[in-house]
């Protein structure tokens, strides 16, 4: 996000050094919790749906079962 807000071009190494100097290692992980909290339920629903579909399809088409 910080790179997007800069008016001039800034390299990734410059932004990394600046963040480390001003905020330390913790600054690199700031804002990471929100995407993780959003991704976990999405992935869980996807895995559950995939498993359910595989079970239902294997019942309907046992000749195509891969297990």
Average pLDDT for 16-35: 90
Residue 37 confidence (pLDDT) above 70: yes
Burial 45-62 (b: 16+ CB within 10 A, else e): eeeeeeeeeeeeeeeeee
What is the reported pLDDT for 67? Answer: 56
65 pLDDT band (50/70/90 cuts)? low
- Compute CA 61 distance to the chain's CA centroid, rounded to the nearest angstrom: 34
**What confidence score (pLDDT) does residue 50 get?**
96
Arithmetic mean of pLDDT over the chain: 87
pLDDT at 39 over 90: yes
């Amino acid at each position: 996000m910080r790179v997007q807000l800069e008016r001039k071009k800034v390299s990734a190494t410059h932004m990394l050094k600046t963040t480390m100097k001003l905020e330390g290692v913790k600054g690199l992980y700031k804002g990471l919790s929100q995407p993780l909290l959003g991704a976990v339920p999405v992935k869980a629903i996807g895995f559950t749906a995939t498993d359910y579909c595989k079970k239902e399809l294997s019942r309907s088409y046992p000749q195509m079962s891969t297990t």
